[in-house]
Chains A and B, each alone.
Chain A
Amino acid sequence: MAYNLKVEAKKPERFTGGHRMCAGCGAPVVVRTILRALKPEDHAVIGAATGCLEVSTFLYPYTAWKDSFIHSAFENAAATIAGAEAAYVALKRKGKLPEGDTKFIAFGGDGGTYDIGLQALSGAMERGHNMVYVCYDNGAYMNTGIQRSSATPRYADTTTSPVGSVIPGKKQPRKDLTMIMANHHLPYVAQTAPFGNFKDLHEKAQKALYTDGPCFLNVLAPCPRGWRYDTPKLMEICKLAVETCFWPLYEVIDGKYVINYKPKKKLPVEEYLKPQGRFRHLFKKGNEHLIAEIQEEVDRRWNELLVLAGEA
């Protein structure tokens, strides 16, 4: 059946309202959309790294999670869920679990995934656990107060890469985690974002959840506090990330790269940067070369992706 948001939205929520995530935050939208891709009859064991998502959805004695949920620490969501999946395999083999399928999902922010959790993620993926790791990438350590991570884009203003009179924000370009995971030769890797009717995110979540073996999703998840945008602009900013090719939508299926969306007219990266306060300094007179550098980086990466997908 073709994707229909109205139908999807009528499914009982597996991630309930009443959690304490900010208005205009991408993460809960990402989580809810991914969990909607589960078959209603399937159980899920969900893990989260320490971060906004965890502390705002499971504050004792309240939980927003209708499935089984575990948080243990910051750097190990992948290892924790890998352990839970190993338990499932063993208990199934020993005939100790009832009929029915369980899906194993780990959520981590970019800090918990690109940085401190990269080792545990790489290990769990290489070992081939039947699980999906979802990085909700908001490009900084937002929970601790907007510190730069290796996912922070170049020249973004964060509290540990502040814009000063000498240094114009984070000096380094961002790490490309989706490519790193693609090079683990996993059955399914995808990059996506929540926008429009969530079709792209939903379908990729479904593929990841229902592909055997370790799968990885990298999902752009804007943060209104860190990015400094008006909360209703969440979807608009995601769309601009895609239209500028700052955040291309693509999949790597058993090693085959597929670009899911090619803008007819690629927008200049300024369109993505402009609504965000973290890039405000780039629009001061005399900083045009900084935007040019960002554009150059975006173009180079987009062209590399076109080559990988055989579309260059």
Chain B
Amino acid sequence: MAIRDRLSGNEAVAVAMRQINPDVVAAFPITPSTEVPQYFSSFVADGKVDTEFVPVESEHSAMSACIGAQAAGARTVTATSANGLALMWEMLYIAASLRLPVMLAVVNRALSGPINIHNDHSDSMGARDSGWIQIYGETNQEAYDNLIQAIRIGEHPDVMLPVMSCYDGFITSHAVENIDLIEDDKVKEFVGEYKPQYHLNDRFNPVSMGALDLQNHYFEHKRQQAEAMRNAKKVILEVAEEFYKLTGRKYGLFEEYKMEDAEIAVVVINSTAGTAKYVVDRLREKGVKAGLVKIRVYRPFPVEEIVAALSKCKAVAVMDKADSFNAAGGPLFTDVTSALYGRADGIKVINYIYGLGGRDVKTDDIEAIYNTLLDIVKTGEVKSVYNYIGVRE
């Protein structure tokens, strides 16, 4: 039987970590992810886990220690936000290229500058092409469920890639919600043992890792890494299916909300999906055929599936909680439109940058976006592709 509880997102993730009982956790405090290692270190202090907790002196060392630990045969987890993730940057690429399935809870926060502690996605969006799998969660329940699944995904022999499990700072990390927890023994059974084929602590099979890799081999290694990311999609779905059997909670590459007959749709990531679903319900009451796609798996990007989900729409708005500063559109917008190109031409797609630095996004804002889509459908005209909402201009 599931255990009903009321937890904040960070508490829920810390509980998942306790249940996973990783071999090593190396972490450094940064708002709003600080509570994760904080709660976890109390589990260590109380003997509830037998993890080696390494309270490092920076996020760069956090990721470096995670790399060293995972390479040495340990299942390794860490957490960070914003500038902490930025300080890890160099090591993110190295973790991925060493094919080490390190697990990282990213509590999304605006990246400096200016310094701001509140939520947007500028931190993890910047790391979207670092070679890490990225999974996003709307609620505390999803943040908890995603972390448990992430272990299985990253460690799968066809994948062997690190995974970021992302959820919104404060909105999800600090707000308390009802949650269904899985029993400890069931989580333990679900994640199983970490048994890497090679590791540094295998005294009978010493290995060298992290070679200088020049013109003759580098490209092949990067090609294999790209293949692993492609393989991840299938594995994510297999793990989700197994998780469904365990919990009854269904996960896919993304969630479709009232999309069966939708003519207009919004594509969004994380907690804003909750607000948008409320707007969809209200519009449906008025007879508007509105729908929503909430991205769960952003890397690998589910190109064919997104196209299939949006192919019947007439107009789509992609909401980005991070700007790209490319004078062309946000990261999710660029990915969605390039997925549609040549596969589902003719769908009008517009972009909204919203909520930067924790600016509230209200139901009225989202309703205005749907109304713009209705206008586009009615007139067939797109007045502006790249837009901002909720900002004084």
A contacts, CB < 8 Å to B: 43, 45, 47, 54-55, 58-61, 63, 65-73, 75-76, 78-91, 93-94, 96-98, 100, 102, 119-120, 122-124, 126-127
- The segment from B115-123, B172-180, B203-211, B294-302 found at the interface with A is B203-211
A–B pairs, 23, beta carbons within 8 Å: A60-B217, A63-B211, A70-B209, A71-B209, A71-B211, A73-B91, A76-B64, A80-B67, A81-B68, A86-B52, A86-B54, A86-B68, A87-B69, A87-B72, A87-B201, A90-B50, A91-B201, A100-B203, A102-B201, A119-B57, A119-B61, A120-B64, A124-B61
Whole-angstrom CA separation of A121 from B90 in the bound complex: 18
Asked if B127 is at the interface of the complex by the 8 Å CB criterion, the answer is: no
Known: A80-B68, A83-B67, A97-B201. A68 touches B61 (CB 8 A): no
Number of B residues whose C-beta is below 8 Å from A? 45
In-complex Cβ contact of A122 among B57, B67, B71 (8 A): B57
Whole-angstrom CA separation of A115 from B54 in the bound complex: 23
**Residue pair A72, B66 in contact (C-beta under 8 Å):** no
In-complex Cβ contact of A127 among B55, B71, B209 (8 A): B55
Closest to B98 in A: A72
In-complex Cβ contact of A60 among B57, B72, B73, B214 (8 A): B214
**CB within 8 Å of A: which B74-116 residues:** 74, 76, 90-91, 94, 98
Asked if B146 is at the interface of the complex by the 8 Å CB criterion, the answer is: no
**Residue pair B57, A61 in contact (C-beta under 8 Å):** no
In the complex, given contacts A73-B94, A87-B73, A90-B24, what are 11 additional A-B residue pairs having Cβ atoms less than 8 angstroms apart?
A45-B72, A54-B210, A60-B211, A60-B212, A69-B209, A70-B208, A76-B91, A83-B65, A91-B72, A91-B201, A119-B61
B208 contacts across to A, CB distance below 8 A? 58, 63, 65, 68-70
Nearest 7 pairs of A and B residues by beta carbon: A83-B68, A123-B57, A83-B65, A87-B74, A87-B72, A79-B64, A76-B64
**B21 → chain A, closest Cβ, in Å?**
9
**Residue pair A86, B210 in contact (C-beta under 8 Å):** no
A61 contacts across to B, CB distance below 8 A? 211, 217
**A19 → chain B, closest Cβ, in Å?**
12
**Residue pair A123, B213 in contact (C-beta under 8 Å):** no
Whole-angstrom CA separation of A282 from B204 in the bound complex: 53
Count of chain A to chain B residue pairs whose CB atoms are closer than 8 Å in the complex: 174
B98 contacts across to A, CB distance below 8 A? 72
**Residue pair B57, A70 in contact (C-beta under 8 Å):** no
**A129 → chain B, closest Cβ, in Å?**
8
* Chain B 13-27 interface 0/1 with A at a Cβ cutoff of 8 Å (1 = within): 000000000011010
Whole-angstrom CA separation of A71 from B91 in the bound complex: 12
Asked if B60 is at the interface of the complex by the 8 Å CB criterion, the answer is: yes
B72 contacts across to A, CB distance below 8 A? 45, 68, 70, 83-85, 87-88, 91
**Residue pair A72, B210 in contact (C-beta under 8 Å):** yes
**CB within 8 Å of A: which B195-245 residues:** 199-204, 206-214, 217
Whole-angstrom CA separation of A85 from B72 in the bound complex: 8
**CB within 8 Å of A: which B19-70 residues:** 23-24, 26, 50-52, 54-58, 60-61, 64-70
Known: A59-B214, A60-B214, A88-B201. A70 touches B58 (CB 8 A): no
B68 contacts across to A, CB distance below 8 A? 47, 70, 72, 79-87
Known: A68-B202, A97-B201. A59 touches B211 (CB 8 A): yes
Known: A72-B94, A90-B23. A58 touches B212 (CB 8 A): yes
**Residue pair B60, A76 in contact (C-beta under 8 Å):** yes
Whole-angstrom CA separation of A8 from B67 in the bound complex: 34
Whole-angstrom CA separation of A59 from B211 in the bound complex: 6
Closest to A101 in B: B203
Whole-angstrom CA separation of A187 from B64 in the bound complex: 24
Closest to A62 in B: B211
Question: Which of B23, B68, B72 has the largest count of A CB atoms less than 10 A from its CB?
Answer: B68
**B34 → chain A, closest Cβ, in Å?**
18
Known: A73-B94, A88-B72. A120 touches B57 (CB 8 A): yes
In-complex Cβ contact of A79 among B24, B51, B65, B90 (8 A): B65
In-complex Cβ contact of B64 among A80, A91, A94 (8 A): A80
A58 contacts across to B, CB distance below 8 A? 208, 210-212
Known: A59-B211, A70-B210, A76-B64. A127 touches B54 (CB 8 A): yes
Whole-angstrom CA separation of A150 from B206 in the bound complex: 35
**Residue pair A94, B24 in contact (C-beta under 8 Å):** no
B64 contacts across to A, CB distance below 8 A? 72-73, 76, 79-80, 83, 120
B76 contacts across to A, CB distance below 8 A? 83, 87
Whole-angstrom CA separation of A83 from B94 in the bound complex: 15
In-complex Cβ contact of B212 among A54, A73, A79 (8 A): A54
Closest to B26 in A: A83
Closest to A74 in B: B90
